[in-house]
Amino acid sequence: MIAIAAGTYSYVASLAGKPSGKTTITVTRDKDGSVAIGEDSSGSFQGVAGSAKATLSLGRDDATVTGYLAHLTVGANAVDSSATFAGKSATVNGLGGAQTFTLVPGQQFVLVDGALMSGFIALPSQVAAWPNAPLELVQPIYGQATALLTDPNAKPVRPAGVPAADASLSVTGPVPLVEWYDPATMIPDEIDVTAEQPLVITRQR
C-alpha cells in the first residue's frame, strides 16, 4: 500500500462558483508509523465567517482511524466534535451529545466531519486499503454513522485543472462526490461535491 505523503498542502473552496474558504492540511508521520492529519480552515457561509482546527489520527496502515478532535467557530458560536475508537466501536461527540456505533464483521470505519477536509484527505488511502470492505462513515459533529458507498466502475469527466495521472474515487449516496488524487502520494488535487450548491475544493500548488 502507498503511504500518504507527509507535507503541508493548501486548498481553496468555492460554493456555487463563489470563493467560500481555504484550508491548510499538514500530514505528519510519527516514529511508530502512525499518521496525523492536521487541519486549519477558515471561510464563510451565507455571509457568516467561520474557522476550524482539527486533527485526524490514523494507524500504521494509513487507513485505520484511531482518533479525532475538532473545534469549529461560526460567528459567535463554537462547537467541539470528537471521535474515539476502541476495537470495532466508535464513540462520537458533537451537537447531539455522545453516540456509540459498532461495526458488523468485515466493516471498517471512515470519518468525514461535515465539510472539513481532514477526512477527505484520508479517504483515498482508506478505500485502497480495504477495496472490498463495506465502509461505515462516522460524522462526529452530527452524531451520525451511515454506509459510505463507492463506485469503482464510475468514469467521471476529468476537470481541466486535474493532472492527467490522477486517479479518481467516486462516492455515491445522498451527497455524491468525486475525489481526484495523486496515486503516488494519495493526496487529493480536487474534490467535486455534487449538491444543490456544488462545492469544489482545489489544491493550490
DSSP per-residue string spanning 73-142: EETTEEEEEEEEEETTEEEEEETTEEEEEEPPTT-EEEE--TT-SHHHHHHHHHHHHSTTS-EEEEEGGG
Residue 14: per-residue pLDDT:
92
Question: What does pTM read for this prediction?
Answer: 0.94
Residue 46: per-residue pLDDT:
73
| All three cell numbers of 28 | 505528519
**Residue at grid coordinates 450548491:** 197
| All three cell numbers of 52 | 476550524
Phi/psi at 130 (nearest 5 deg)? Answer: -125, 70
**Domain ranges within the chain, ordered by starting residue:** 7-204
Provide the pairing of β-strand 7-15 with 18-29.
Answer: antiparallel
In this predicted model, what pLDDT tens digit does every residue of 60-92 receive, in sequence order?
999 999 999 999 999 989 999 999 999 899 999
Sign of CA pseudo-dihedral 140, 141, 146, 147: negative
Q: Which residues contact 156 (CB under 8 A, 6 or more apart)?
A: 168, 170, 178, 192
Residue 115: per-residue pLDDT:
84
Residue 128: per-residue pLDDT:
95
Residue 1: per-residue pLDDT:
66
Question: Which parts of the chain register pLDDT below 70?
Answer: 1
